[in-house]
Structure 1
């Protein structure tokens, strides 16, 4: 039986914009097989919406806390989210501003 998919929304704060954080998050998600998106927010934080198994989301969170070498992650907030089928096909970098 396949493990149930779930979704989480992570909000990452610290020095996380202009340091390759979105590309890092995309590479990690692709490597572990999670779907969703990453985007910069106007307040300087980064939002990561991810769909995956509990284990995939656990690994993703650990990697988001670490971040790429140039980043300085100060906090990762995590919230349960609805599984949105439109993001289930892969992991993308979103640009909304």
Structure 2
């Protein structure tokens, strides 16, 4: 199992980014969460198959229709933080 934490910058709050990321993650059988950060970014923690994480990362680079992704930062993460399922907070 692999895990990664992503920080997405741009117009990513108030455009259904977290809910859309959840849909993508669930379709890829990933666990984790998506949450808004106080600085305007969205944090996504995902754990699961490495190929599924790569596909999620591709999606995170563009986001949903109304979003504008300016930057995506990725760091390795501990899969134990992901919990069960995929939640938005």
TM-score norm. by structure 1 comes to: 0.88
Aligned partners of 1:78, 1:85: CA distance in 2, in Å? Answer: 16
The residue number in structure 2 matching 1:74 is: 70
Structure 2 residue ranges without an equivalent (≥5): none
Q: How does 1:1-97 map to 2 (within 5 A)?
A: 5-84=1-80, 87=83, 89-94=84-89
Aligned partners of 1:72, 1:32: CA distance in 2, in Å? Answer: 22
- Runs in 1 of length 4+ with deviation above 6 angstroms? none
Aligned partners of 1:19, 1:83: CA distance in 2, in Å? Answer: 27
Number of matched pairs: 89
Aligned partners of 1:55, 1:90: CA distance in 2, in Å? Answer: 18
For residues 35-66 of structure 1, give each alpha carbon's deviation from its aligned partner in whole angstroms, at most 9, with x where no partner exists: 10000000000000000111010000001111
Structure 1 residue ranges without an equivalent (≥5): none
TM-score norm. by structure 2 comes to: 0.96
